[in-house]
Amino acid sequence: MPASSRTTWCATHRMRKTMKRKLAAPLMALTMVCLSACGLSNGSGSGDTTKIMVISDWDNPSFDYQQLPTIVENAAGPVNKAGGINGKKIEVVSCNSKNDPNESMKCARKAVAEKVVSVVGGFNTLTGQIFPVLEAAKIPFVGGAVSLPVDYTSPMSFPITSGAMLFVASAVHALQNPACKSIGFAANQQSEPHWLPYVSKILDHAKVPIVSKAIYPPGTTDMAPYVTQLTANHPDCLILSWTTADAVQMIPALDTLGVLGQWKGRIYTHEPAGTTAQLVKQFPKETNGLLSDSYFPPISDPGWDEYKKVEHAAGNLGKYEDTLGDGSVERTYLAFKVFETVAKTIKGNITNGSMFDALNKACKVDIGSVAPVLNFCDKAADPNISRTFNSSFVWYKVENGEFTRAQPGFQDVMPAYRQATGGS
């Protein structure tokens, strides 16, 4: 309600004692919420610690990311052993959002109550319930899973990946192959409506048509009819925007119909939540030759040596490698590295306010060779994805059950996205 409306309302009803009694409790509750969540109290941890929070989903049928708080605790271990940051050790608070909107909001409120200076990493796809609370309290969120519009636009959002832009990345990857003069495209009905128009525009700009298309319902088990649709007009290359669950059902059909052999080296997929390490282990022969894009290099890359050392010291080396593939473990670990790097630039006490200010001034955040240098000072021109600070991907291929780099370095897909959306 606007301020002028509230004033009129209060003046009109001031003398109505019965209404005053009914309003007393909710007004008091609103006052308490404002005191704790409207930035009037600056979170800085407690005592000798600086608190951060990991919000993640587990104990539900869809997602099990209970390991992500442990990843951050392990990463904080060497920092704390060395004395912490600015004389304070890092305390990691975890919250299980349970893939539930109410629990997600509770986690955000817990972040305010615990006076955390930042939310870091984790996995939650209901951030529409989280960001309003964080925004009111001015608590930054570093390295969250990017999937909803609010993740791309909230001023508290400091993502280190470009989220669902991976669908665009597959098209950009395919266009680097001169043999791809025409494309067959497959996706489930949930992802197709949003991203296929962008993929089509990117391909149209390069004068590479989609000649065959297979759009299937989520949960489809008989993929043979859709594979037939995918290859009906004999496309030169295939783009499979699949989930891991889709891939488990589609790979046998691709193999049975001879597609994997005929199109070997010309099948483009995406790795996060798609062509994962688990999938390759399940289908080592069938996935051989698949090309894919990922936010980060595979775990075999030397850039992950520090991560391995941290997990080895915590007794967890090898425990989480199977999850390296959907991107959440790598992203959460690197989110802490971003927090650590930026927090060390702050002079004096680290608070949520000083952390937010420092992030907005962090124009060159170098967290090693497994990610490009991040620039949180430069927002994307497109207001729909203004909080995209990293639009780069790694191209790789599957060889003998292992991920190997198909090209060195990182490939930026933002120019292609701008072409697709008409941006500059």
pLDDT digits (tens, 9 = 90+) for 250-292: 999 999 999 999 999 999 998 777 888 888 989 999 999 999 9
Q: Do residues 371 and 334 lie in contact, with contact meaning Cβ atoms separated by under 8 Å?
A: yes
pLDDT in tens, 289-334: 999 998 988 777 888 898 888 877 777 666 655 444 467 888 999 9
pLDDT band at residue 45 under the 50/70/90 scheme: low
> According to the model, what pLDDT value does residue 12 have?
36
**417: phi then psi, degrees, rounded to nearest 5:** -60, -40
pLDDT band at residue 411 under the 50/70/90 scheme: very high
Three-state DSSP state, 157: strand
Three-state DSSP state, 367: coil
Q: Which structure tokens are listed for 172?
A: 């950009």
> According to the model, what pLDDT value does residue 44 have?
59
Whether residue 5 is predicted with pLDDT greater than 50 in this model: the reply is no
Q: How many CA atoms lie within 13 A of 158 on its CB side?
A: 33
> According to the model, what pLDDT value does residue 194 have?
72
Whether residue 96 is predicted with pLDDT greater than 80 in this model: the reply is yes
pLDDT in tens, 51-73: 999 999 999 888 888 989 999 99
pLDDT band at residue 380 under the 50/70/90 scheme: confident
> According to the model, what pLDDT value does residue 326 have?
61
Whether residue 181 is predicted with pLDDT greater than 80 in this model: the reply is yes
Give the H or E element holding residue 168: helix 166-175
Beta sheet of 157-158, edge-to-edge order: 89-96, 49-56, 118-120, 141-142, 157-158
Q: Which residue has the higher pLDDT, 201 or 87?
A: 87
Whether residue 340 is predicted with pLDDT greater than 60 in this model: the reply is yes
> According to the model, what pLDDT value does residue 375 have?
96
> According to the model, what pLDDT value does residue 54 have?
98
Q: How would you class 342 by CB atoms within 10 Å of its CB: exposed for 0-12, middle for 13-18, buried for 19 or more?
A: buried
> According to the model, what pLDDT value does residue 195 have?
75
pLDDT band at residue 407 under the 50/70/90 scheme: confident
